[in-house]
Structure 1
Amino acid sequence: MKRIEFNLPDSLYDALLERMQSDRTSCDHVVSTALSQCLGKPLHTLFQVSTSAALVEGLYQGAVRVSRLLRHGDFGLGTFIDLDGEMVVLEGVCYRVSSDGVVTSVDGDRLVPYAVVTRFSTEFAKTSQQFNTFSELVAVCDALRSSENVFFAFRVEGKFSFVKTRAMKAVPHGTGLKAASSVQEEFTFKDQEGTLVGLWSPGFAGSFSVPGYHFHFLSTDRKRGGHVLECRAVNVTIDGCAMHEMHVSLPETAEFLQADLSRDPSDDLTSAERNHER
């Protein structure tokens, strides 16, 4: 990281302070984002709302509005209050996949308890790919990653012969993530054009992020989607980028501030993420 000093007109200084206060973020973040947009140089920063440990313990109350989330990224995933659906952020639009499978766009005033987004731009790519299982997709993405110690975003786009997804449904207050995932709704789609929105987090991030791969699906017609459990691709392009910076916005609710988040969330996260065969 480099440090620089410069002079600002009073009007810009006041606007900077106002944005820092409204977004509850640092001067470094606001200035870096503005320079990135002005200079056309992508800034691959991961912006996260809350932590995976909080999710595991059943803290699903709203922390950040969607409008603020989209100021920090145009690509990502998450969930909604009380785990009421799966979030997909693609091309700057936030979508909700409900437990009945309906996909809708989400207005900016809606509060969310957990989300991870970035400004996606391709750093590396692999075209004309096909795979028969989710594990094969993971192997391809593994080969594209250059490190085990930074975060990566993957956009997998094209024709899928099969996609199996789940969409969480609202749960009673205080229900832990492991219990909530046991009553998820699951869907299967065949011969679909669409996009997998994916993030990979290193193992050391397990206390605040979901380690490993996490993919959500959204069809091209924006009618189908959800958290990916299994998939087969006919012909897709896999684009990706690395993220070396992370900004976490922690909830300010009394429930979060007083919660015991010391328990290792790894086992519960693994159970919630896996493909539950019926």
Structure 2
Amino acid sequence: MERQAGHDLHLRLPQGHWQALERHCRQSGESHSAVLRKALADYLDLEHHTLWQLSTSTAVVEGVFGGSLHVSDLADHGDFGIGTFEQLDGEGILLDGICWQARADGSVCRAPANEGIPFWVATHFEAQQRFNLSAINSIEALGAQLDPKRPGANLFVAIRITGLFDEVLMRSVSKVPKGVGLLEASQDQTMVRCSNIRGTLAGFWSPAHTTSLNIPGYHFHFLADDHSSGGHVLDVQAAELQVELDLQSNLRLALPQTKEFLEADLSGDIAATLHTAESKPKD
């Protein structure tokens, strides 16, 4: 077996293995790659349908932005997810095991392995549902179409949406000094509006009962296919999009052991502040 650039694999299978794989793919409709990914995940004991999260939304609201882990640590916990970087230095998108950093100046780069991360949500993405959506004229309309596809309001769902977007409105927050909370930080954000662009929405649905842990409702970051733009999604329009859902039945929470986190007051009600900081600014 020879590993090529990126994540491509070239391997030679015995005739019996190949015939069994072909037969399974014909019967199930799965691709060869999907079957091999599942087989490797089982063999390597990767956790399926498990949401791994670093820190909490309350800590983020209170300005606990110091990196407690690094980008290189994400590979141990998933190949898909979203988050941010030390002192809110841009928006993070983890797709197919590669972590991208959308900066406040509008640029997108592959995040350095040693870049600190204070908050992140990740999973080993394995689609359980696939379907198309059409006539999406707002982020609210997207959510309304996704709602009936979820099993209920009380489970996490990882969501990957791809296609040609008529318009995507995004923001990326600038790096902030220590002591600045999320609401204040969100006042200094770069807004980017892209039109007629192919890309991916990576995100999660989080239940309302987890507000102190995560951002409730839908939370998406966008990455253009050509890596020309990305960020936290505020609004979206598209004629048709392809959707994949991965229902998350397990939650693993990693709490930082930094002095900053241990001494922070995380007892307040953050619901209103979090909603204001994460929503599209009012005109």
| TM-score, scaled relative to structure 1 | 0.85
Partner of 1:6: none
Query: Identity across aligned pairs (percent)?
Result: 40
1:210 aligns with 2:215: yes
Give unpaired runs (5+ residues) of structure 1.
1-32
1:190 aligns with 2:200: no
Instruction: Output the CA distance in 2 between the equivalents of 1:62 and 1:92.
Output: 20
Partner of 1:248: 253
- Pairwise mapping of residues 1-278 of structure 1 onto structure 2 (< 5 A)? 36-38=41-43, 43-127=48-132, 129-278=134-283
Instruction: Output the CA distance in 2 between the equivalents of 1:267 and 1:232.
Output: 26
Amino acid at match of 2:110: S
CA shift at 1:40, angstroms?
8.8
CA shift at 1:36, angstroms?
4.2
CA shift at 1:96, angstroms?
0.3
Change (3 A) 1:94 1:41: closer
Please say if residues 167 and 193 of structure 2, whose CA atoms lie closer than 8 Å, have aligned partners that are also in contact.
yes
CA shift at 1:211, angstroms?
0.7
User: RMSD across aligned C-alpha pairs, in angstroms?
Assistant: 1.8
Instruction: Output the CA distance in 2 between the equivalents of 1:128 and 1:140.
Output: 7
Instruction: Output the CA distance in 2 between the equivalents of 1:175 and 1:267.
Output: 17
Give unpaired runs (5+ residues) of structure 2.
1-37
Please say if residues 129 and 237 of structure 1, whose CA atoms lie closer than 8 Å, have aligned partners that are also in contact.
no
Please say if residues 99 and 167 of structure 1, whose CA atoms lie closer than 8 Å, have aligned partners that are also in contact.
yes
CA shift at 1:42, angstroms?
6.5
Please say if residues 216 and 227 of structure 1, whose CA atoms lie closer than 8 Å, have aligned partners that are also in contact.
yes
Cα-to-partner distance string for 1:134-181 (whole Å, 9 max, x where unaligned): 111001111110111110011110000000000000112111111111
For these two proteins, the number of residue pairs brought into alignment is 246
